[in-house]
A and B are shown apart, each in its own frame.
Chain A
Amino acid sequence: MLKGFKKTAKVNRRMTIFTGLLLCGFAISNTYAAKFQLEKRQSIGLEFKQFAHSSPSIDHNQDGSLIWQGNYGLSWQNDRGQLANELTIAPIIRYNSQDHERSKVDFKSLSWTKIETNWELRTGIRTISWRTTEAVNLVDIINQADASADIDDEDKLGQAMVNWVWLNDHFSFELLALPFFRERIFPGDDARLRGVYSIDTDHPEYASKAENKRLDAAMRFVLLLDQWEIAISHFSGTSREPILFLADPQHAELRPFYPVIEQTGLQIEYATDNWLWKLEAITRNGFTLPSHFLSSLQSAMPSRYSAAVAGFEVSLPPLFNPDYDYSLLTEYLWDQRRGEALANDLFIGLRIGFNDLQGSELLLGSILDLDRQEYLTFIEHSYRNNNNGKIDLTVRLFDAPGNASSRELETDFFELHNDDYIALSYTQYF
């Protein structure tokens, strides 16, 4: 259990020292005091998961987690009374009853931001979201995903960075230097919601000779034009997404390989009346496995590929109850590598806001693989039980054609077809 803690603690220590040094430098250069403002958010949550079926390899059908999160912000103004500096500390501690990989101590943010009218310097550990669409986010690449927390990749690990932004009312241009690469966290061997093979996260392989010490870089240009928002970004560095390869066919174990990639991303959002039109597209070069890692199960990968997701979100007129807000979400997912998961998929979702005292919300959605007739269905329901607590109910159902042993590496959800689950969580805010 403590193994996971130790490993993340080691990474954290290095990042903390890095940030600590920056903060010291900052403190020396800003000894005067101005108007301070302190903001805090804290929550403690308890989550319980019940799996519908037993797994052939794992003996438990339940899983419990305890999560504590804090967010502390200190900001102060300059002589002209304008917001000039911001310090943020956002720790997260998670303990999982079954899986040490799911237990962690991490910082979502530990950073200092220097704010001027037309530029900002954001330094330290931060979480950056470059998201437009709902079903998947292709462009969002700065932070590593914590795949142990959930399968939707929405849980991110803090990333050390120096982020300089030049901005005005109509555009922003930013440059990012990203030291200290972080490995993806996968569910451990004892955990549900993992694939057939276990993943050897202790022996990752890197394309870069500097391994996880390579300094990565990114830039992004955002244009705000009337009802349009257009963003072009480029990332050059160690891929956050690893390629999992079979190192030794005798052992049913996959190892992560982190290639060095060049990824250019495009995001477009257009708002009109009740409609929001969304597009995310990437073209990625270098996401390949070196020939010496190739096995009979894996064929050579193209050196460059593109992928895109596009769709809309529309608010519907009140259907049954004029107090409810209804929105329909539809997105099409495309990947040039046709064999990949989510290469020809359709996402359809319905979000209902009940506008009641509890702030109840319901999201029903399905991702359908049009090539393989598989689907993932989810229901997310949340409501407030008083002013300080929130209840979340999540159901995920995986459906994949059974008995597809020869295809298990390529189907979207086959590896999870036994892992239908219902999760109930209670979060107390204070």
Chain B
Amino acid sequence: MTNTLLNKKMFSITLLLIIFIVSLSAHLVSAEQSSSESDQAQKAYDIMAESDRRDTGWQDSTANMSMIIRRADGREVIREVTTKTLEGENGKDKSLLFFAKPLDVKGTVFLTHSFPLEADKQWIYLPSQNRVKRISSKRKTGRFMGSEFTFEDMAAFSLDKNNYRYLGETECGEPLQACHIIETRSKDPYTGYEKTISHIDKAELRSWEIDFYSRRTGKLSKQLRISNYQLYLNKFWRPDQLSMLNTTTKAETILKWHEQQFNIGLADSEFRKAALERRQ
């Protein structure tokens, strides 16, 4: 009788002990896991922050961009724009897009004031209506000029608008070299992506490949290949070509940069909304 009681007591103590040990070790394991998780996040963040830091100090830039929008059935159209960008402190960049082709939208100007955390401010000048219109800037997922790029893809990079995770190493680039694999998840509730996965070379921290995963389906939806990097002002690496493939529809948009110039001395006053209103 006492024996069985003792046994029972022993049993419950053992059980408690086991539960305690299991839960403790589980806790320790999870602590270890989460610490490695946060290490990976910190590592990825540091890489992106360094990449961002290396891309500061160019002051301003102008460039011509052409966009070849190609559908799977072979139909294609070409869009041409001229861009002017003014580098601001802490990601407060300002940019102007002047549409040149197609000719019916020639004269249209798109002005963006980017902010590191809050929503960007955007205006469009429409020559046909001779009017400057504010655009609601949460329209992230809309296609940019009917291309495979969305407004979100075209927006200025802002380090703290995303969370990062280090996924491992691979080879990428031209020529093939050691690369980081980094996962980016946007904090923006209006993002069109579940996540993006970038291959960034270790030497110069340039992105060569980005895979986009749709927020709607969670699956791979687009692949961006970045190529023809050029060094400007002995300091800044910029690609001349970006091609975005829609993996579902097989439609493709090729974006080519020409005549990229930096540190020209553009005036801040050119990037005011009122400067658009001057237009006739």
Contacts and interface: CB of A to CB of B under 8 A. Distances in A.
A20 interface: no
Interface residues of A, number: 62
A122 B274 CA distance: 13
B278 A172 contact: no
Contact of A384 (B69, B102, B119): B102
Interface in B245-266: 264-265
Contacts of B106: 41, 429
Interface in B61-118: 69, 71, 75-78, 101-107
A280 to B, nearest CB: 13
Interface stretch (B36-44, B126-134, B179-187): B126-134
Nearest to A73: B280
Chain B's interface size range is: 35 or more
A165 interface: yes
Main secondary structure of the interface of A (DSSP, over half): strand
Given A86-B278, A127-B130, A429-B103, A117 B267 contact: yes
A115 B278 contact: yes
B71 A357 contact: yes
B167 to A, nearest CB: 28
A81 interface: yes
Interface string A410-430: 000000000000000001011
B280 A88 contact: yes
A108 interface: yes
Contact of A315 (B101, B139, B146, B265): B139
A169 B130 contact: no
B138 A273 contact: yes
A90 interface: yes
Nearest to B94: A169
Contacts of B71: 357
A118 B103 contact: no
A85 to B, nearest CB: 12
B278 A122 contact: yes
A408 to B, nearest CB: 32
Contacts of B53: none
Contacts of B139: 274, 315, 325
The 10 closest A-B pairs by CB, nearest first: A429-B103, A109-B280, A355-B143, A88-B280, A387-B102, A390-B104, A129-B131, A82-B267, A167-B274, A172-B274
Given A127-B280, A276-B134, A359-B105, 16 more contacts: A41-B103, A41-B106, A43-B104, A71-B127, A71-B280, A82-B270, A108-B130, A109-B280, A117-B267, A120-B278, A271-B134, A273-B190, A274-B136, A315-B136, A387-B78, A429-B104
Interface of A: 39, 41, 43, 71, 73, 80-83, 86, 88, 90, 108-109, 111, 113, 115, 117-118, 120, 122, 126-127, 129, 131, 154, 156, 165, 167-169, 172, 222, 224, 227, 229, 269, 271, 273-276, 313-315, 318, 322-323, 325, 353, 355-357, 359, 384, 387-390, 427, 429-430
16 contacts: A81-B265, A82-B267, A115-B278, A154-B129, A169-B272, A172-B274, A269-B134, A271-B136, A273-B119, A276-B136, A355-B143, A356-B146, A357-B77, A387-B78, A387-B103, A430-B103
